[in-house]
Amino acid sequence: MIGAMRDVIVAANWKMNTTPADAAELARTIVSRTREAGVIRVICPPYVCLAAVGEAVADEDPPVAVGAQNVHHELAGAYTGEISAPMLASLATWVIIGHSERRRDAGETDELIGRKLGRAVGAGLRPILCVGEQLADREAGRATDVVDEQLAGALEDHEPTALADAGLVIAYEPVWAIGTGRNARGSDASEMADAIRSTLEHHGWGSRTAGVPVLYGGSVTSANIDEFFSEPAIDGALVGGASLKPDEMAGIVARAGMTARARGAAR
């Protein structure tokens, strides 16, 4: 029943794929095949494609949001090649923060991710904060502890009210299930979603906790998404490679639509 109060979200992370020349057409194809009432659709293309995708989906009904895949932790300065939150504000309304690939490849720490979160919220961007454990952490029985530490580090010094008002979304990425051939189960994701909400309550979120959507983001496909949407604690998906394939996105969003309708009936 708690899930009935939360948004149902499918966010497409295109990573380092597409060019401005082909991104707009791909976006139009995907959105034309994913019109499901009650589902928030977000497309996160590379920086250079934000404008093209934004123009391509501008008149969509239901609307489609555009998100960035990253943001810098400062507002301006001598940071060659970086993009700040104010720069993104006219091109996107959402942003992914702390993705596992940023933690791995760019060495992003929880403290740095927390600073990015503050910049995003200050610029009016809706954040998708990513958390998740490595295989060694899970095998050592530390999966929940690791995610708790990541959340605590990123949320430190942020007022729960401000983050709740900004529409904070949390994406659970079991890193061990991304591109490895190993699969997480719906029960794994549900257990972690419950742990995430317990951490939020511990950090003073109180009743606001029930309204925070938790997405699943571990090699999501149309073939496995049903298992995750069947869990009331899961509110959507952060889709990686499959988000570049219109057929896959059509299947994923169709299943999200079923969840949205069920929650609407529950209300």
Q: What is the pLDDT of residues 10-26, one digit of tens each?
A: 999 999 999 999 999 99
Q: Would you state the structure tokens that stand for residue 219, as one six-digit string?
A: 């090699």
230-260 per-position pLDDT tens digit:
999 999 999 999 999 999 999 999 999 999 9
Q: Is the pLDDT confidence value at 264 over 70? A: yes
Tell me, what CATH number does 84's domain have? 3.20.20.70
Position 1 scores a pLDDT of 41
Structural domains in the chain (count): 1
pLDDT digits over 22-60, tens only? 999 999 999 999 999 999 999 999 999 999 999 999 999
Question: Where in the sequence is the domain holding 46, given as residue range(s)?
Answer: 2-266
Q: Is residue 208's pLDDT more than 90?
A: yes
Which residues are catalytic, by number? 99, 173
Q: What is the pLDDT of residues 176-205, one digit of tens each?
A: 887 777 778 999 999 999 999 999 999 999
Averaged pLDDT of the chain: 95
Judge whether residue 218 has pLDDT over 90. Answer: no
- Give the pLDDT confidence score for residue 182 in this predicted structure: 78
